[in-house]
Amino acid sequence: MRRIAFWSPKGGVGKTTLALNFAAAAYYAGNKVILCDLDPQRSAFDVFAGRRLPFTVLADKPQVMPNVDYLICDYAPSLDRLPEEETIILPMRASMLDLRAVNRAIRLIRNKRIIKCVNAVDTRRHDERMIAMKLYNEGAHLIKDRSIYVRSIFDGETVFQQNKYGSSDAQNEIRRLLDRVEHPRTLTAKAS
Ligand SMILES: Nc1ncnc2c1ncn2[C@@H]1O[C@H](COP(=O)(O)OP(=O)(O)OP(=O)(O)O)[C@@H](O)[C@H]1O
Ligand SMILES: [Mg+2]
């Protein structure tokens, strides 16, 4: 079983959005998937439980380890509860403030694989593009700013259940993130 944390000390960077879509990518690739919502805000659990998601969403970690391929945890934006999972996907925005906060937070984590995921990148903005490219060259994954991510949540779905403008590009970039997890090719991200 692979245990994946979506964790970041910063709020509103896309932890829940990416955790949900990553869970869907893993499910449609043929895996058994459970998503655990560890945020007291209960965003993933409240909005999606009982809706059209093809995988189970729990309001906490299960007491007994389930027999699944992926246990995916959506963390609160906090340094109080550090992730226990062996792979951490760390969403961030392409900004210097995020970069500094993320690099400080990474120093608290030991012996885990960390994949920085620069989310909602607006490639039309020069400064954002420059930071995103720097991080990409250091091994980060990039996810573009796409209204389909907002729209699908509004519909109680993931981008994998949508057939609207931008959905196939969004599906592809989430699938590439899944591929990064399944086939490690870069070193664990380091604080710099
Ligand atoms: N790639 C993207 N493109 C466009 N909008 C996005 C993208 N990713 C996330 N968003 C939007 O950004 C907002 C914040 O996303 P989300 O709630 O997933 O962040 P979060 O890190 O889980 O927040 P919190 O720290 O409050 O738990 C939401 O409105 C979401 O729809
Ligand atoms: Mg969240």
Cβ-based neighbour number of residue 139 at 10 Å: 16
Would you say the CB of residue 152 lies under 6 angstroms from ligand 1? no
- Residue-wise pLDDT for 86-136, tens only, equals 999 999 999 999 999 999 999 999 999 999 999 999 999 999 999 999 999
125-184 pLDDT tens trace: 999 999 999 999 999 999 999 999 999 998 889 999 999 989 999 999 999 999 999 998
From ligand 1's centre to the CA of 150, what distance in Å?
8
The pair of structure tokens assigned to 92 is: 């961030």
Q: Which of 120, 105, 113, 110 is nearest to 150 (CA)?
A: 120
DSSP helix, strand, coil percent of the chain (3-state; round to 5):
35, 20, 45
**Residue 143 in contact with ligand 1 by CB distance below 6 A:** yes
Mean pLDDT of the 39-50 span: 80
Work out which ligand 1 atom sits closest to the CA atom of 145: 3
Q: Kindly state if the Cβ of 3 falls inside 6 Å of ligand 1.
A: no
Tell me what pLDDT residue 50 has: 60
Whether residue 186 has pLDDT greater than 60: no
Judged against a pLDDT cut of 60, whether residue 189 lies above it is answered with no
128 CB near ligand 1 (under 6 Å)? no
Burial 42-61 (b: 16+ CB within 10 A, else e): ebbbebbbeeebebbbbeeb
Q: Is the CB of 173 under 6 A from ligand 1?
A: no
Handedness of CA 110, 115, 120, 123 (dihedral sign): positive
Residue 67 C-alpha to ligand 1 middle, in angstroms?
Answer: 29
Indicate if the pLDDT at residue 191 is higher than 50: no
pLDDT at residue number 43: 87
Count of CB atoms situated within 10 Å of the CB of 67: 8
Structural domains of the chain sorted by starting position, each given as residue range(s) with its CATH number in brackets: 2-182 (3.40.50.300)
**Ligand 1 neighbour 120 (Cβ under 6 A):** yes
Ligand nearest to the CA of 177: 1
Q: Whose CA is nearest to atom 16 of ligand 1?
A: 14
